Amino acid sequence: MKFFDSPEMRETLHRLLRSQMALKGIDYNGLSRRLAMMGVTQTATNLRSKINHGTLGAQLFIFIQFALGIDKLDTDSIRSIYRDVERDLDASATVEPSHSSKAMVDEAPSPQISEVEH
């Protein structure tokens, strides 16, 4: 079985869930408690990791929606976030690193070989 993984979708999930949590005023501890009341055991640290990396399964995503009181998923908004992420990732990939961020390597001068006359 081939697993599909998309950096853009991981970042989209991260942004979506963080914005939903912020709008509801719920932190990771609160989300963990709400999930526990539904029989879903996830520590705040575990949730933080999964949400920040956008690596949570569909079931946990749906339970989080329930725990946050989200009644409807707005796929147009999700699509908009996804497009923003694509633009952000494309822009960051095309930016040349500045000289200050490049590693500077001091090279020793190569020895000069001169011809010796006999």
The CB density around residue 88, as the number of other CB atoms within 10 Å, is: 13
Amino acid letter, 53:
H
State how far the Cα of 109 lies from the Cα of 104, in Å rounded to an integer: 15
State how far the Cα of 96 lies from the Cα of 108, in Å rounded to an integer: 27
- Return the structure tokens found at 23: 């709008």
Chain segment 51-80, per-residue pLDDT in tens: 999 899 999 999 999 999 999 999 999 999
Distances 94 to 6, 24, 71, 77, 87 between C-alpha atoms, Å:
19, 36, 39, 26, 11
Q: Which of 14-23, 55-64, 104-113 is the least confident region?
A: 104-113
% of the chain residues with pLDDT over 70: 77
